[in-house]
Structure 1
Amino acid sequence: MAAKTDDDQDTWREFKDAVNMAPAEIEKWLESDESKSVGAKSGGGESVGHHSGRRIVEILRAKKADLTDDDYAHMRKVVGYVHRHLAQRPSGDVTETPWRYSLMNWGHDPA
């Protein structure tokens, strides 16, 4: 495996900041009806965010030295999604909203 670049180190830090849920917490969330009720569906019927959540769990559980360029690309995608979505926070109580549920599929609980 090639040595990780400074960009990869920055990506790792940004990813760890954006993903504030533990792997087991994400897995439990992904099993919920609320998790499955949100997001744009891909060809197989699973939403893009739901699929991303499963990939996030894999990345979090992997040894950092084993992460691939594809893993780092996905981490950058997660960071971008979380930052964009947080900027669209609706007013009021967001506890039981599709906005929060979508973020949680991507490993971030804003509550």
Structure 2
Amino acid sequence: MVREKRVDAEVDVLWDDFHAQVNVPSAQLRQWLLTRGSGEESFGPNPDLDLPEPGRQILQVLTKRKVDLTPEDIEVMRDAVDRIESLMDAKPPRGNADDEWRHSLLDLGHDPLVER
């Protein structure tokens, strides 16, 4: 008999919020993080381990199925949603291009230029 792992209703809502806020595909996020992390110091033998945080953790969650989430993954998702919402609330005035603001969002897997 195969048992299906049940997902808490709160985690269900968080999963949907996380995937709505993290609107950058995982391959694009990985490429962005590799670019961000490749400053003056080079990567070690395994570049994935050297990806900037919390982007690396977000990327790991994106590779999982909902039923495979750990408590740590749930915390990463909650933190990412909170950080993205806070940054979106701090959006610079229209017409003021703020690359650092957008880069901070991209580090979390959210591109404010992508329409929903």
**Class of the TM-score when normalised by the shorter of the 2 chains:** 0.7 to 0.9
Q: 1:90 aligns with which of 79, 89, 92?
A: 92
Query: Is 1:80 matched up with 2:82?
Result: yes
> How much has 1:3 moved relative to structure 2?
2.5
SS of 1:31's equivalent in the other structure is: helix
| Structure 2 residue 15 is matched with structure 1 residue 12 | yes
Amino acid across the alignment from 2:89: A
Query: Which stretches in structure 1 are left out of the alignment for 5+ residues?
Result: 38-49
Deviation per CA, 1:29-68: give whole Å up to 9, x if none: 0122xx349xxxxxxxxxxxx3111111111111221111
Residue 57 of structure 2 corresponds to which residue in structure 1?
A: 55
Structure 2 residue aligned with 1:65:
67
Larger of the two Rg values belongs to structure: 2
Q: Match for residue 26 of structure 1? A: 29
Instruction: Look up the equivalent residue of 1:67 and give its one-letter code.
Output: L
Structure 1 length-normalised TM: 0.78
Query: Is the Cα–Cα contact under 8 Å of residues 54 and 108 in structure 2 kept in the other structure?
Result: yes
Structure 2: any 5+ residue segments left out of the alignment? 39-51
Letter paired with 2:81? V
Query: Number of paired residues?
Result: 97
SS in 2 for 1:110: coil
What is the one-letter code of the residue matched to 2:16? R
Structure 1 residue 2, shift from structure 2 partner: 5.7
Distance 1:31 1:60 in 2: 16
**Aligned-pair CA distance for 1:12:** 0.2
What is the alpha-carbon distance in structure 1 between the residues aligned to residue 26 and residue 57 of structure 2?
A: 10
SS of corresponding position for 2:24: coil
Runs of 4+ in 1 over 3 A off after TM superposition: none
Percent of pairs with identical residues: 31
SS at match of 2:109: coil
Give the match for residue 102 of structure 1: 104
Q: Superposition RMSD on alpha carbons, in Å?
A: 2.1
Aligned counterparts of 2:66 and 2:89: Cα–Cα separation in 1: 29
